Amino acid sequence: MNRIDSKFRELKKKGKKAFIAFITAGDPNLTATQQLVLNFEHAGVDIVELGVPFSDPLADGLTIQASSQRALQKGVTLEKIFSLVKKIRESSEIPIALMTYYNPVFYYGEERFLTQAEQSGVDGLIIPDLPPEEARNLIQSARKKNISLVFFISPTTTKQRMKHIIKASSGFIYYVSLTGVTGAREGIAPLILKQVSLVKKMTKKPVCVGFGISTPEQVKKISQIADGVIVGSAIVQQIVKNAGKKNLVNRVTQFVHHLSRGLK
């Protein structure tokens, strides 16, 4: 059992839901990322989704695309991200999942990537452009190294395919709340609540909802039917808003704490 599994077990015993915060590694810089993760642990964040900057994202909207570009311009690499997670592990046990695309994993080498991830203290991988059918070797290798591999279910996923995705997933199942890319939205489609309930009837694995969630009210609404809520673009927007300010970390942390209180 890794940190992600332990966290969901702990939350379930307490009757609580998970708040998962996404930030891009290296935006605005790696030092700030480290400070944000450590502060998040005390601001109601249960799991951190750490984005690996990539030049050709498919699932990310403009906000996260821009954050990736800024990080790449700063020279952020996989090696530096693994080193960052190692540093975080010196003082924190907060569960960390890397969100990356398959190209960096393929180029780095699957086994080498997983070995580095394990040694660094990474608990899970989220790879939006890798379907379960193409991930058999990675799934087997990740399980041996006790690293969760999270797959996606969307509003257009058929019930039959849901079964396949659920079986392949570990850690939690990522339910995409809309058809499209990431980005803050004004509301949550009513159909989402019904669909998430359907997925939960099919599995005992945690089901977490992301894409388009940006307010405490939305967090509260989603948490009523899901096991966890994922917020990314809204947090990245706060990083952009406070770029260059000495109190960036504190301001972003306050915003995240404000969002996480929606679970209370």
Give the three-class secondary structure for 27: coil
Map tokens 């917020």 to a residue: 231
Q: Using CA atoms, how far apart are residues 175 and 85, in angstroms rounded to an integer?
A: 26
**Does 217 participate in catalysis according to the annotation?**
no
Note whether 163 and 202 are within 8 A (CB). yes
**Does 10 participate in catalysis according to the annotation?**
no
Q: Which one is catalytic: 46, 60, 123, 227? A: 60
Q: Residue 119: which of 168, 81, 151, 149 has the closest Cα?
A: 81
- Inter-residue long-range contacts of 203-207, CB under 8 Å, 24+ positions, other chains counted: 203/166, 203/173, 205/166, 205/169, 205/170, 205/172, 205/173, 206/8, 206/18, 206/171, 206/172, 206/173, 207/172, 207/173, 207/175
Q: Which residues contact 77 (CB under 8 A, 6 or more apart)?
A: none
Q: Which one is catalytic: 46, 49, 123, 227? A: 49
Catalytic positions, written as ranges: 49, 60
